[in-house]
Each structure stands twice: as structure tokens, then as C-alpha cells.
Amino acid sequence: MAEEPSGQLLIVDDDPELLQFLLEELSQDSIVCQGANCGAEALLLLRQQHFDLVVLDWNLPDFNGLEICRRLRSSGDTTPVLMLTAHHDLEDRVQALDLGADDYITKPFELPELHARVRAQLRRSRYSNPDASAETLTLGDLQLDLMSRKVQQGERELALSQREFDLLAFLVKHNGEVQTRQHILDSVCGAPFVGDPNTLDVYMGYLRRKLEGPDRPRLLHTVRGVGFMARLPQS
């Protein structure tokens, strides 16, 4: 009996040899893989069918991976994106994350790391519903609908990326409990976490900018030397 596929993967790269290699290589993990060689084709496929992950090259002939991320997120599409990039600068990596990429891997990359990052993104599907016994998580006036993956804070709806939602859901689910950095990364990104641990700080910064402000309470707290926690302000 054939092994059950563990996910639907779209690979986008304009290098035909690399695209074919990635299709064959990642299919070994019982993943159903489909390819696209330009941004327009990728966006068309994403509108027509469901994918659990997009492996996306930064440089494409029509428009780059950053523009694809921007268009996906502006349309409300939360499909996880793993960016392939030759850009090693921190500013470039932060820009990719800021525009909606969920993870990145720099070229040239080692195959075991690529496989691990793809598996980690696909394992995150278990956090699409972090608590099967509850459909909504709440913290003060903050509400997370785990089925629709929508976040409401008072009268306003927050636009979060899939990684931001998963991170916030994990912290709110364990509100009042300090979570170590490693435990957060393993739980939200898939254990064992493979990647730059500073990614967590980037996403915590994104969440704080979206959740907190002069007229809104501080919900996300740093516990120096340990990790983070979510809790309501103490009176």
C-alpha cells in the first residue's frame, strides 16, 4: 500500500534543472510536489488548488519571491512560504519575513537542512488547531478563532501571517506560563527546531507591533534569560 502523502507542496524556481531536482528530491518524503517556473504560474496554481507549503525562489523572471509573498498575504492567503535565497544579509532575511515568508534557507544549502525545514513547516499543521477541545482562545479582549484562524482584538481584526498566528496561539494557550525559547521554537516550528533562533525575536517584534500600543495593554512579556509568556497586565 502506498504511503499516505504528508503534504501538498508547490516548488517555484526558474532554473529547470534545479526545479526538477527539487521535485524529485522532496517527493521522497511522501510529499506530493508540483512545480512552477515563474511567479505568474505560481499565483495561478495557488488560486486554483490547496497547497500546504510553497518553496519559493527569491529571484524569478517576472517578479521576485518577495512580490509573490506580498500578493499572497494581501489577498488573505496564509499558505506557508519557505524562501530559497542567495541573499545572506540580515536586512534581506528580515524583509522576506516582514512581507510574509515563514522561513528561509540560503543558497547553497545542504539537502538534510532543506528536508528538515520542509518537514518542520508541514508538521505545523497540528497547530492549525492547537487545542481540539476548544475552538477559541481568549486573553482579555483578544480572541483567536482556531478554525478560521482569525484574530479579533476588541473591535478590530488583526491580520497575522500563519507563523504569527501559530506563535500567538501557543503563547495564549499557555497564558501565565513562562515558555523557554527552545520550547517555543520546537512547538511552533516543529521539533527539533532547525534554523536561526533569532527568528523568534523577529516574530515576537511583529506580534507586539500589531497587538500593543499606547491605548492597548501589554500582553507579551520577555522573561530575560528564559523566554516569553503571554498574560494580562497585573493590577
- The amino acid occupying position 52 is D
What does CATH list as the number for 129-230? Answer: 1.10.10.10
Superfamily of domain 8-126: Response regulator (3.40.50.2300)
Q: What is the pLDDT of residues 1-37, one digit of tens each?
A: 344 447 889 999 989 999 999 999 998 877 889 999 9
Q: Do 62 and 38 touch, CB atoms closer than 8 A?
A: yes
Q: What is the pLDDT of residues 196-222, one digit of tens each?
A: 778 889 899 999 999 987 888 889 999
Domain ranges of the chain: 8-126, 129-230
What element of type H or E holds 207? helix 198-211
Q: Residue 198 is placed in which grid cell?
A: 533569532
Q: What is the pLDDT of residues 72-87, one digit of tens each?
A: 877 777 788 999 988 7
Residue with cell 523572471: 61
pTM: 0.58
pLDDT of residue 132: 43
What element of type H or E holds 227? strand 227-230
Return all residues near 207 (Cβ < 8 A) that are at least 6 apart.
Answer: 160, 164, 167, 168, 220
